[in-house]
Amino acid sequence: MHWADVEAEKILASSSGKITVSTGITPSGPIHVGNMREIITGYLIYRALKDKGADVRLIYSGDTMDPLRKVYPFLSKEYEKYVGKPLSDIPCPCGKHTSYAEHFLEPFLESLKALGIEPEVLLSHEQYRRGTFAEAVKIALDNRDKIREILQDISGRELPDNWWPYNALCSQCGSLKTEVISYEYPYVHYSCECGHEGRADIRKGEGKLAWRVEWPAKWYSYGVKCEPFGKDHAAAGGSYDTGKKIAEEIYGIGAPHPVPYEWIELKGKGAMSSSTGVAIPASEILEVVPPEVMVFYIARYLPTRHLEFDPGLGLLNLVDEYDRFERIYYGVEKAELEDKEEDWRRAYELSQTRGIREKMPVQVPYRHLVNVVQIAHDFEGVLQVLRRTGEIGDLSPEDEKYLRDRVKRVRKWLERFAPDAVKFSITPEITGEYSHEERRFAEILAERLETCEWTGESIHNTIRESAEKAGIPVKKAFKSLYRAFIGKEKGPRLGYFLSTMERDFVIHRIKEIVGSQN
């Protein structure tokens, strides 16, 4: 059984009524591929619950009321004056959004739409101001001594006697760097680092709960029954352990079903983190990875499985793997791992966020499209090449749209992530010098290509046979052809590469080698 279905059954066994699956990320910087694991994990469990007939909703809780903790590497020094202020109250870095929080949230939420995942978005600064958390805040303040004991007992961290689970928002400087002096409902009296003293109304969002208290307060306020979260929160004495105790003893509710997940690391650079600059924004990755492939990438592994994301050549392998399981799903290819086929099939189903098609979508290998788009100038040219090589016939409007989307992503990948080794362009004319034996090989090859079947395999065999006939090493023969067509000594699989071009053009270019002089 797929892991999402296993989690769904556990939730259903312990819950009744409406089920809320919650996810959440603080928009303190670019929301990256690693962050995507949380929202996709939550979505997969949501889907599994829905498939089992549950009354379920998926929410994204944006921690927009969190303060800016430091000036991150991607920020200018002028942001030093905003440290300690809520992300929702800080100016946008690019000047195009209403706030710092929106600057990072907007592309992320657009990425979710591209994935076909549209949760209910609940931003904490709005929820505080609407009074959504007012009751939870009051309960926390009324029980601050008990909460303090829970935090100390479970986390092992000593808290001062004057500790409060609430940070007021300074009405003078707008900072959350305040200390509570006293509390008398509904007001918190505070002093700020700026020297100002005042009072904050807990009903109007004039402050926020401390993180370890805010988390269970959200469970209470939103009715959360399941939440995925990073492995750091799952550590012994961590925020889930303290949150669970606070939920049970202070708010009188059971803690949500936990689904801890491992980090996604960026190949060669370690765990992704916006604060260290080791990250690729999710919005940028989804310009090159088909949405269904991104969801499948998360769906096929247990959340506790460590993943490494390679935006370079590894991305081609990722798409190839997805395509293979798609063929298995539609019965075009037999599964090699029979005992795992049920899980793979379910992972494929869950990755189809917009529904499963009756027929398998048109398939052209991603790595082959990498070559084709560098030969053809536009999408019509791509179609001509693929039809010439027999890889596609007439396309339905749906398949044409699907292929056009993949071509667009491949071009973007070439611009952004492709290593130089796979990039090429057809040279306007041959360059360099060619030896007598290379010219002799080219003469034989040009003649044989006149009648050769115009397929990758047939051209490849013809090249080898011509090299043997000319008495030239096959490796040297291949190098001479690469130089003639792309000005390099290496390139895409030669037979298939040449088959994508017009026969007359290929023969004419090879004859240019014959006519070249040392």
Note the pLDDT tens digit of each residue in 6-25: 999 999 998 889 999 999 98
- Greater pLDDT, 271 or 302: 302
Q: Is domain 1-130+262-347 in CATH 3.40.50.620, yes or no? A: yes
User: 1-130+262-347 with 166-209: one CATH topology?
Assistant: no
Q: Name the phi and psi angles at 102, rounded to 5.
A: -65, -35
Which two structure tokens, joined as six digits, stand for 354?
């917009």
CA–CA separation, 204 and 134 (whole Å): 8
CA–CA separation, 135 and 295 (whole Å): 37
Strand arrangement, sheet containing 307-309 = 270-271, 264-266, 307-309
Q: Worst-scoring range by mean pLDDT, 109-123, 210-224, 297-311, 332-346?
A: 332-346
CATH architecture assigned to 361-417: Orthogonal Bundle (1.10)
Which residues lie closer than 8 Å to 160 by C-beta, 6 or more apart?
none
For position 518, what pLDDT does the model report? Answer: 55
Q: Is the pLDDT of residue 49 over 70?
A: yes
Q: How many CA atoms lie within 13 A of 162 on its CB side?
A: 8
For residue 282, name the pLDDT band (cuts at 50, 70, 90).
Answer: confident
For position 373, what pLDDT does the model report? Answer: 95
Domain ranges for the chain, please list them.
Answer: 1-130+262-347, 166-209, 361-417, 436-515
Mean pLDDT (the chain) is 93
Note the pLDDT tens digit of each residue in 405-429: 999 999 999 999 999 989 999 999 8
The DSSP code for 481 is: H
CATH fold for the domain made of 166-209: SH3 type barrels. (2.30.30)
Q: Is the pLDDT of residue 50 over 60?
A: yes
Q: Is the pLDDT of residue 340 over 80?
A: no
For residue 470, name the pLDDT band (cuts at 50, 70, 90).
Answer: very high
For position 1, what pLDDT does the model report? Answer: 92
**What pTM was estimated for this model as a whole?**
0.91
For residue 398, name the pLDDT band (cuts at 50, 70, 90).
Answer: very high
- What is the CATH number assigned to the segment(s) 436-515? 1.10.10.350
Note the pLDDT tens digit of each residue in 192-247: 999 999 999 999 999 999 999 999 999 999 999 999 999 999 899 999 999 999 99
Which two structure tokens, joined as six digits, stand for 71?
């000036």
For position 85, what pLDDT does the model report? Answer: 98
CA–CA separation, 112 and 75 (whole Å): 25
Beta strand 264-266 pairing with 270-271: antiparallel
For position 431, what pLDDT does the model report? Answer: 80
The DSSP code for 31 is: -
